[in-house]
Amino acid sequence: MPDPATPDDLFAFMDSHEIAHSTLAHAPVFTVEEGARIKAALPGGHTKNLFLKDTKDQLWLICALGETRIDLKTLPAVIGAARLSFGREPLLYEAPGVTPGSVTLFALINDRARRVHLVLDKALLDHELVNFHPLSNAATTTISRQGMVRFLAELGVRPSIVDFAAAATP
The verdict on residue 112 lying in a domain is yes
Quote the pLDDT of residue 169: 60
What is the domain range of residue 109? 7-168
pLDDT at 170 over 70: no
Cα separation, 75 vs 71, whole angstroms:
6
User: Mapping DSSP to helix (H, G, I), strand (E, B) and coil, where does residue 105 land?
Assistant: helix
Q: Is residue 91 part of a domain?
A: yes
Q: What is the spatial distance between Cα 50 and Cα 62, in angstroms, rounded to a whole number?
A: 5
Q: What pLDDT, in 10s, does the model give residues 101-138?
A: 899 999 999 999 999 999 999 999 999 999 999 999 99
The amino acid that residue 100 corresponds to is P
Report the distance separating Cα 86 and Cα 5, nearest Å: 22
In a domain, 67, yes or no: yes
In a domain? residue 30: yes
**CATH classification of the domain holding 148:** 3.90.960.10
Q: Contact, 101 vs 71, CB < 8 A?
A: no
Domain-located, residue 41: yes
Of the given ranges (9-18, 26-35, 69-78, 82-91), which has the lowest mean pLDDT?
Answer: 26-35
Question: Rounded mean pLDDT of 83-92?
Answer: 94
How many domains does the chain divide into? 1
Q: Does residue 1 form part of some domain?
A: no
Answer whether residue 86 is part of any domain: yes
Convert the pLDDT of each residue in 153-168 to its tens digit.
999 999 999 999 888 7
pLDDT at position 33? 73
Task: Tell me the CB-side half-sphere exposure of residue 25, using CA atoms within 13 A.
Answer: 2
Give pLDDT, residue 1: 61
Per-residue model confidence as pLDDT tens digits over 20-58: 999 999 989 877 677 778 888 899 999 999 999 999 999
For residue 34, being part of any structural domain is answered with: yes
Residue 68, φ and ψ in degrees, nearest 5? -70, 135
In whole angstroms, give the CA distance from residue 16 to residue 138.
23
Could you report how far apart the first and last alpha carbons of the chain are, in Å?
45
pLDDT value at residue 82: 95
Whether 75 shows a pLDDT value over 80: the answer reads: yes
Buried b (16+ CB within 10 A) or exposed e, 78-89: bbebeebeebee
Q: How confident is the model at residue 151 (pLDDT cuts 50, 70, 90)?
A: very high
Contact status, residue 50 vs residue 70, Cβ threshold 8 Å: yes
